[in-house]
């Protein structure tokens, strides 16, 4: 049985761990609320961009512009596919990073001609250790998603697609369904598909004039749309990471509390045993002195 001093030392160690895990839980909770607020502030703008693109497509019979080029002339095995993968910057978030990286590995194995783009320190380290080349790792902290950074990423992706260096681009991120469910998600960024912009129920009787023409307006809207999708994915991934960290830290905090209960019980037993032994020795010594 451990001594009283050893048990006391163990209790202090667990109490320090408990303070850390509880603090990390509170920080993750604060970050989650901040990220959701940030996304809600800019969502109306990107929703309007998407609605305008859907309106243009609904009024046009043909595909609108270079971003819809599916390049059917290129065989599937020769298509150059780009993957933009969003991971976290830190660990202690349960299986958050593991799940999205496993999905990414599966996608990479299916496409011999692939290019990898990574946001997040955990993804950089993971692919670097396995010798998987990364075209661009975007030295942005995944814990600070901004529209400006999303725009920079979308500009690079769009330029590579339009120049023919990429034939398809997919976005891999973690979608926060609710507090108990997070799903690794694969979203096709380019080429764009008309089916991704469904018309509103009931249609629209308004007469809209696009100047100088619909194709030009569409060319200007697509980069904003791509920025919105990427920004939304960055915020969703960040929220998923914080939610996973909250769950992990809450579990750790609960476990630490259970350990403390057991240690306090052991400490009290050891202390009571020591007191009983001292009393027995005193009584025995007094009896021997008579």
pLDDT digits (tens, 9 = 90+) for 38-59: 777 877 877 888 788 887 777 7
pLDDT (tens digit per residue) in 231-289: 888 888 888 888 888 888 888 888 888 888 888 888 888 778 777 877 777 777 767 76
As assigned by CATH, the class of the 21-248 domain is alpha beta
Task: Tell me how far apart the alpha carbons of residues 132 and 138 are, in angstroms, rounded to a whole number.
Answer: 16
Task: Tell me how far apart the alpha carbons of residues 287 and 278 are, in angstroms, rounded to a whole number.
Answer: 14
Mean local confidence (pLDDT), 89-110: 88
pLDDT (tens digit per residue) in 7-27: 888 888 888 888 888 888 888
Confidence of residue 180 (pLDDT cuts 50, 70, 90): confident
Phi, psi of 154 (to 5 degrees): -65, -35
Domains in the chain: boundaries: 21-248
**Does the pLDDT at position 204 exceed 60?**
no
User: Which residues partner with 184 through β-bridges?
Assistant: 174
Do 58 and 199 form a contact (C-beta atoms < 8 A)? yes
Mean pLDDT over the full length of the chain = 83
**Does the pLDDT at position 61 exceed 70?**
no
Picking from 160, 178, 174, the residue whose alpha carbon sits closest to that of residue 114 is 160
Contacts of 288 (CB under 8 A, 6+ apart): none
């Amino acid at each position: 049985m451990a001594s009283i001093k050893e048990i006391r030392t163990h209790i202090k160690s667990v109490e320090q761990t408990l303070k850390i895990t509880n603090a990390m839980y509170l920080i993750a909770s604060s970050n989650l609320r901040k990220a959701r607020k940030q996304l809600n502030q800019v969502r109306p703008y990107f929703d309007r961009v998407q609605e305008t693109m859907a309106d243009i497509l609904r009024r046009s019979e043909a595909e609108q512009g270079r971003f819809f080029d599916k390049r059917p002339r290129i065989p599937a095995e020769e298509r150059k596919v780009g993957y933009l993968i969003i991971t976290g910057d830190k660990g202690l978030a349960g299986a958050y990073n593991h799940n999205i990286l496993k999905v990414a590995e599966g996608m990479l194995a299916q496409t011999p001609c692939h290019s990898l783009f990574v946001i997040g320190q955990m993804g950089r380290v993971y692919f670097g250790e396995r010798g998987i080349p990364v075209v661009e790792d975007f030295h942005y902290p995944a814990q600070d998603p901004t529209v400006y950074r999303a725009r920079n990423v979308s500009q690079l992706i769009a330029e590579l697609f339009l120049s023919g260096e990429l034939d398809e681009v997919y976005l891999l991120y973690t979608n926060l369904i609710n507090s108990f469910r997070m799903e690794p998600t694969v979203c096709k960024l380019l080429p764009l598909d008309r089916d991704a912009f469904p018309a509103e129920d009931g249609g629209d009787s308004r007469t809209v004039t696009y100047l100088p023409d619909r194709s030009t307006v569409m060319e200007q809207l697509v980069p904003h749309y791509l920025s919105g999708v990427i920004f939304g994915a960055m915020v969703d991934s960040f929220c998923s990471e914080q939610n996973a960290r909250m769950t992990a830290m809450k579990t750790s905090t609960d476990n630490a509390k259970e350990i403390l209960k057991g240690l306090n019980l052991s400490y009290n037993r050891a202390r009571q045993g020591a007191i009983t032994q001292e009393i027995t020795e005193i009584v025995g010594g007094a009896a021997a002195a008579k």
